[in-house]
C-alpha cells in the first residue's frame, strides 16, 4: 500500500516495533498490561498480513521487533512471521512465558532466524510463581525453556514484573537468573494499566518493600559487575517523578495489536477518543507520519498545566498519557505520578496509604473483568 507522505516536517522515524501477535495466553497474570477486552483470535492478522507489516517496518528504517502477546508461541505460524521479520532486516526478540517451547519448536524458530528470547518469570519459588501466573507447572516450563534457549546459544533475558507478592524475592530472582545463565534481568515494577490497574489493590507494594528491593538491586549490581545486566524499571507511583513513557508519544516505537490496530504505546487502546488507525487500512509510514492518533501527544506543543513551562518537558514528555487518563479521565493532563501535577495526591494517597489485606487477584482471562467504571474526570 502506498500513501503519499511528505518528508517535510516528518517526525523522526521509529526504531522498534512491538508486534502483539495474539492476546491468547496460557498464563493469567493479574498484572498484565493488555486491555481488559482482549482481542479475539478470529480478529488476528494473518501471517501474510504480519509479513507485510514487517516488510514496511524494515523499509521505514525500523531495526528491532519484539514478537509478543499474549503468548506468541500460540501462533502456529510464528516461524513464518519470524522469517518475514528476518527478510525485512529486523532483529527479532521473542517475548514469551516459555510455556509450549520445546526443542523442536525452538529449532524451527532459530532456523527461521530468531535472534533472542525474553522469558517472563513471576517468582523465584515455583509454587509462588505458579500462583501468580494462575497456572500450575508454569515454573517448570520456564526452567526448561531457559535451558533450551541457552543450549541453542541465543541471548536470553529474564523479565520480572514486580509487585507486593514478589518484591521481597528480588535477591532470589537475581540468583535464579544467574543460575539460568541469563544475560539480562529486567526488574519492572508494575505499571498499572489494563489488568494491572484492575488488580492494583492486590499488587501495590509498600514503600518499605520498594526501598529494600532497591538496595538489593544496587548491591547485586556491584557484585555482578557487568556479568549480568540488571535493569530496574522505576515505580513511578512512589518516586514523585513521571517516567518518560515510551521515550515520548510517537517518538521511538510503535505497537501493532493482534487485530492490526496501530498504537503509540501498548496501553493506548484505553484512550476512548484516540481513534487509532489500523494497518489493514493504512501504511506504517502514513500511520507514523500522518495519523492524528500518533500526532496527538507528540512533542510538547499539546502540553498544558505545569508541563507547558517545565524545564523537564523535553526529558519526560509529561509522563504517561494512559496513566493520566486512567487516573484523571483526561489524557492531556500532567501525569499524576509527577509531584508537580495538581493531581499528584491521587498517587501519593495510594503510595502512602496503609496496606490492608490484599484482595484476591482477578486473573487475566477473556470475560473475567467487570466492565470498568468510567475514569474520574479531573477539574480543569
Considering the complex, what minimum distance in angstroms separates the CB of residue 21 from ligand SF4? 33
- Tell me the C-alpha distance between 173 and 185, whole Å: 9
- Tell me the C-alpha distance between 118 and 23, whole Å: 17
The response to whether 320 counts as a known ligand-binding position is no
Contacts of 223 (CB under 8 A, 6+ apart): none
> Cβ of 179: how many Cβ atoms within 10 Å?
11
Cα angle value 73/77/81 (rounded, 5°)? 90
Q: x/- site string to ligand SF4, residues 339 to 358, per CB under 6 A?
A: -x------------------
What part of residues 86-115 is at the interface with ligand SF4 (CB under 6 A)?
A: none
Q: x/- site string to ligand SF4, residues 205 to 244, per CB under 6 A?
A: -------------------------------------x--
293 binds ligand FES (CB under 6 A): no
| Burial of residue 142 (number of CB atoms within 10 Å: 0-12, 13-18, 19+) | buried
For residue 59, the number of C-alpha atoms closer than 13 Å in the C-beta half-sphere is 12
**Exactly one of 245, 279, 307, 326 binds ligand FES (CB under 6 A); which one?**
245
| Closer CB to ligand SF4, 289 or 316, in the complex | 316
What single DSSP character describes residue 261? B
Beta bridge partners of 16: 64, 253
Considering the complex, what minimum distance in angstroms separates the CB of residue 230 from ligand FES? 23
320 binds ligand SF4 (CB under 6 A): no
Residue 338 interacting entry, from ligand FES, ligand SF4, none, C-beta within 5 to 8 Å by type: ligand SF4
**Exactly one of 194, 260, 266, 306 binds ligand SF4 (CB under 6 A); which one?**
306
Residue 335 interacting entry, from ligand FES, ligand SF4, none, C-beta within 5 to 8 Å by type: ligand SF4
Using omega within 30 degrees of 0 as the cis cutoff, is the peptide bond preceding 70 cis? yes
Element (H, E) at 118: strand 116-120
Q: x/- site string to ligand FES, residues 174 to 203, per CB under 6 A?
A: -------------------x----------
Residue 174 interacting entry, from ligand FES, ligand SF4, none, C-beta within 5 to 8 Å by type: none
Is the CB of residue 90 less than 8 Å from the CB of residue 17?
Answer: yes
Give me the residue label for grid cell 478470529.
42
Annotated binding site for [4Fe-4S] cluster: 25, 29, 32
Amino acid at each position: 500500500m502506498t500513501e503519499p507522505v511528505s518528508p517535510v516536517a516528518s517526525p523522526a522515524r521509529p526504531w522498534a516495533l512491538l508486534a502483539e501477535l495474539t492476546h491468547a495466553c496460557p498464563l493469567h497474570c493479574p498484572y498484565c498490561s493488555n486491555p481488559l477486552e482482549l482481542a479475539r483470535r478470529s480478529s488476528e492478522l494473518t501471517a501474510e498480513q504480519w509479513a507485510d507489516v514487517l516488510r514496511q517496518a524494515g523499509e521505514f528504517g525500523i531495526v528491532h521487533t519484539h514478537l509478543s502477546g499474549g503468548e506468541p508461541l500460540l501462533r502456529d505460524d510464528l516461524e513464518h512471521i519470524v522469517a518475514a521479520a528476518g527478510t525485512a532486516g529486523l532483529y527479532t526478540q521473542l517475548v514469551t512465558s516459555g510455556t509450549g517451547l520445546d526443542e523442536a519448536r525452538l529449532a524451527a524458530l532459530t532456523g527461521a532466524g530468531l535472534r533472542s528470547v525474553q522469558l517472563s518469570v513471576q517468582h523465584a519459588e515455583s509454587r509462588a510463581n505458579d500462583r501468580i501466573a494462575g497456572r500450575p507447572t508454569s515454573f517448570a516450563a520456564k526452567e526448561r525453556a531457559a535451558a533450551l534457549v541457552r543450549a541453542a546459544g541465543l541471548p536470553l533475558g529474564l523479565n520480572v514484573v514486580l509487585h507486593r507478592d514478589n518484591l521481597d524475592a528480588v535477591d532470589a530472582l537475581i540468583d535464579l537468573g544467574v543460575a539460568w545463565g541469563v544475560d539480562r534481568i529486567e526488574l519492572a515494577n508494575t505499571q498499572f494499566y489494563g489488568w494491572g490497574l484492575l488488580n492494583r489493590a492486590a499488587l501495590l507494594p509498600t514503600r518499605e518493600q520498594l526501598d529494600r528491593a532497591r538496595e538489593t538491586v544496587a548491591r547485586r549490581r556491584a557484585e555482578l559487575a557487568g556479568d549480568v545486566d540488571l535493569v530496574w524499571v522505576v515505580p513511578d507511583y512512589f518516586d514523585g517523578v513521571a517516567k518518560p513513557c515510551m521515550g515520548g508519544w510517537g517518538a521511538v516505537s510503535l505497537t501493532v495489536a493482534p487485530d492490526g490496530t496501530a498504537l503509540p504505546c501498548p496501553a493506548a487502546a484505553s484512550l476512548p477518543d484516540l481513534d487509532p488507525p489500523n494497518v489493514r487500512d493504512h501504511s506504517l509510514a502514513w500511520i507514523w507520519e500522518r495519523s492524528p492518533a500518533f500526532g496527538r501527544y507528540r512533542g510538547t506543543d499539546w502540553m498544558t498545566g505545569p508541563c507547558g513551562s517545565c524545564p523537564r518537558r523535553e526529558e519526560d514528555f509529561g509522563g504517561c498519557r494512559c496513566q493520566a487518563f486512567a487516573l484523571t479521565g483526561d489524557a492531556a493532563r500532567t501525569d499524576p505520578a509527577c509531584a508537580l501535577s495538581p493531581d499528584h495526591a491521587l498517587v501519593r494517597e495510594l503510595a502512602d496509604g496503609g496496606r490492608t489485606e490484599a484482595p484476591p487477584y482477578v486473573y487475566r482471562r477473556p470475560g473475567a473483568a467487570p466492565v470498568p467504571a468510567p475514569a474520574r474526570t479531573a477539574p480543569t
